[in-house]
Structure 1
Amino acid sequence: MGGNGKHRWKISFYHRSNSNSKMEINKHQLQQPPKEFLCPISGSLMADPVVVSSGQTFERVSVQVCRELGFSPKLEDGSRPDFSTVIANLAIKTTILHWCDSAGVEHPLPPDSGTVVKLVRALMAENQEPEIRVSERELLKGVADHPPVIFSHAETELGPRANHFYSSSSEESVVIPSTSPATPLPLTTRPSCYSSSSSSSEIVENETLTANSGPASEEEDKLVTKLKSPEVVEQEDAVISLRKLTRTKEELRVLLCTPQLLSALRPLITSKYSAVQINAVASLVNLSLDTPNKVKIVRSGFVPRLIDVLKGGSSESQEHAAGALFSLALDDENKMAIGVLGALPPLMHALLRSESERTRHDSALALYHLTLVQSNRVKLIKLNAVPTLLVLAKTGSSASRILLILCNLAVCPEGRSAMLDANAVECLVGILRANEFDSESTRENCVAALFALSHGNMRFRGLAREAKAVEVLREVEERGSERAREKARRMLQMMRGREDDEDEDDDWEGRLESGGGLSVNRYRVGLGRNIHGPNSTTF
């Protein structure tokens, strides 16, 4: 129970459903519930299981009591759960009820809160650790003996900083299917704070590490010991070593990404010591690059801490935090969890306000991957993010990536409605008319966003005509890339479709206004809104 192996606090959790035969059944004949059905704190069969931020499942009452008492118990793997967010675990609840039915056991009831309070207080007494104090003189002496390594750039490699954030080839990898309004594929799969290039000095260091390093388990033990040390200098040495190892020895990333190391690294993500925080978050970025590690990291409770860094960390730490969230969002299993844990608002704020191009770059790509999930699209729309994204698409330096996010939002009815209300058609047509693109893919993404808006939406026709989109789309059809031309052609066909059915002299808009009960003005919802004004966004 709770990692200490003691079960004397276990609450009775099952009874035979047939009370008349209760005394006749031998105890050993009763099936024991699987361990994952028991609350790690109370030890009882869970009646209302919930998932917490760090990924574990507990009885809801146990979590509430721990939060009220400010206590986080030590679990069997040595980690401590993060109770900041609670989500009902309906899957495990259903499984528990099915097990009860098959085992002839009554459905569990939530434990008495008073009993859980006594149990948690007892655990608090057992888990109390002696307070360790380090004098200022000792800290200063430690820093003098081991001066900190200061990285002058945010890249996780140790070589010189690249002068670009992504190559043109990565932009060319965008694929926009012409047969559906689906969104494009991602621009890249690695954060901008990470580069695959290596310097000559880095190669020499890599050879030294390879020659001198022992098995991964030995490296892990050494790192975990230092990461858990109360000495700040030891912590800093550990995160710098971890950053080097995970940057130069890719084969160690999966081996080092263990519950023990993640548990030791997690509190250092929000360390008040800048060098510790920067290198801890950079190490996490490196670990997150390997696919098997992505879900582990999210389930180990790193997302709330990355959000804290994104909100209030140093500029370099924020670059790495945005990069880590982008990397973690690449895994489909993580997308919903990251959104539920509250990453969307700080990512939007970083996209809008950060002075770092790298932070804005990775925040945009994180939002793109997160909005591949419908629940996150709805969250972003409710945050009133659409007007902000349109302004950024028109004036920002990350137009291509912003347009990808808008493509995702335009896929769902809520997103199309919000974008049409925010005058997206005129904005996107204006971007195409200005013809100021940093790459051909930016034009393609802009056309794709318009195409997604036009999908099954008659309101789009009126707005597109008022924005004089026909002449712009014709130019794209003549001079754009193959993918852009195809989408422009289909939009022009859609806009001409109504006229093809009637005489050329007929005014289809007039017919709609007079006969269909739909006024042209009704197509103009939100057209008067000033999307450039100071009140256009809450971020």
Structure 2
Amino acid sequence: MKSHFIATQFRTLIRVIATALDVLLPLNSIGVSCEIKELFEMLSKQARKAKMEPDPEDENTMKRVIIVLNQFENKFEPDPFMIRKILAHLEIKSWAECHREIKFLDDQIRVEYLNGDEREIPLLSNLIGLLCYCRGTLFEDCDFRVVDQSDGRNSNLEVLSCLNPEDFRCPISLELMTDPVTVSTGQTYDRVSIQKWLKSGNLICPKTGEKLKSLEMVPNTNLKKLIHQFCSEYGVSLAKSRTKNRDISRTILPGSPANAEAVKFLSQFLTLSLGYGTDRQKKKAAYEIRLLAKSNLFNRSCLIESGSIIPLLELITSSDPEMQENTISALLKLSKQPRGQKEIIKNGGLNTILMALKNGITLESRQIAAATIFYLSSVHEHRKMIGENGETIPALLQVIKEGTPCGKRNSVVAIFALLFYHRNRDRAIAAVYRNAAGKEYCVSILHSLCLNRGPDVVSVLAKDVSLMSVLYSLLTEGTSHAGRKSRSLIKILQKFSETTSSRLIREIEMATEQPKPATEEAKMDLFEDDDEFEEFEIDQEWDDKEEGKDVTQQWEDDWDDDDVNDDFSLQLRRELESNPEKSEVKST
């Protein structure tokens, strides 16, 4: 697309070389041989005669691309025959190759934003829109599982394996560099750390001890990219950079008019394929939606407007594991949009997603459904509807029990979001209480609260007459850990009852006097007996049992677990600021 510009730059460079050979190089005064002089003269003549022109085929392809982009911009769907000619010249012969080119262009856009230079963004967006349209409409077969999980990942791992991760740390802070910059001595530091160093009056390089010739700092973009790849591949948290790098708010608008229309045409095509295509076409369409909606707000809005949610909901019940996984993942992406949430609820999608949460064919499908429940529960009215289904919270607890670390986290935040509706709290407690392990955890929590909060908690527990029977049952039926906690809790409650009875007798005898406030010694008297404080220590046997569980290898993070965590924090902050039940939530 920029062949003319590049050819002009080369012509200018060659002319400069020819001028330098003629004017700036005094061959006669140097005393070189005749053969060398002849070579220089020949080089000068060739440089003046050289013609740097774009290849005719490249120029024709460039014209075709411009025509296609103009058609998109004018809201006309381009001729597939012309697009195939473009792809043939670019040697893009398969879905995988097209997908690879899209990822490359997307990386180039990220680099442009990192560098703060957005001049090339419209052109890159045009090309991405064109290739996304080609990938979705022209290529029927796709090895999506292989491409999405492995393409580029193995090569990245090979590159990263050759590097020393310690080189990614700032020599000053010893933390991973989020914004590496290079100073005049050639050493690289994190921008924040070196700025603090310089502001404190230190004008020498911290690593070499040399005096800095200038205070200029050059961004090390390549190193920054490597650090991001390292963190992505190995699951290392890099909160500062992730917030900036994963910020998709800039995608709320299309990168260019042609890109916008290409995405709209593609969204309509995929929606029709979901409704009327073959099983293979439906699976591919669901996967295309999953890719398009992954990190682009405008793409999500186009897919929602095209009506893709209804056919996606119908495909959740598919008996094909890949179909179900792609479908529920696509719905997860669309549920992040407020309008997408409304469309899902409006079309009866809640029960369908809950069914996938409970009976999903694969664990991955159930984990993705749990994340979808979290986004749907961001609306207050939806929490009541979700909680009224008695199988929701038990299904989320099952994912916590069986899932990967990402799945566990998303199930936990989904349950927490549901707890903002007060009636869901009783349902959650009831769901945990049915489980023997849940009872044991509850006893451990109550025991910890008693030790840390003292009489404030014990006085409340002492009023619950049914608690003692549960504690005695755990003494005989529970594990050794539960038995020790129950025994300790029973002693605490009994000692509180004895103390309260003695105090009541004294109050009756001294009815006309005000009781003195309890001293710290009196408060701690509740816990002096036996080995309560010993039992409060972490039980090694219990921890060993927990740590011995097999942890499944985390599957590809293409359902944006980081987004779920970030959105959970945002939702929690909003609820505590504006929800009328916030005080009740805090106390709970």
TM-score (norm 2): 0.37
Structure ID, larger Rg: 2
Highest relative contact order (Cα 8 Å, sep 6+), 1 or 2?
A: 1
TM-score (norm 1): 0.40
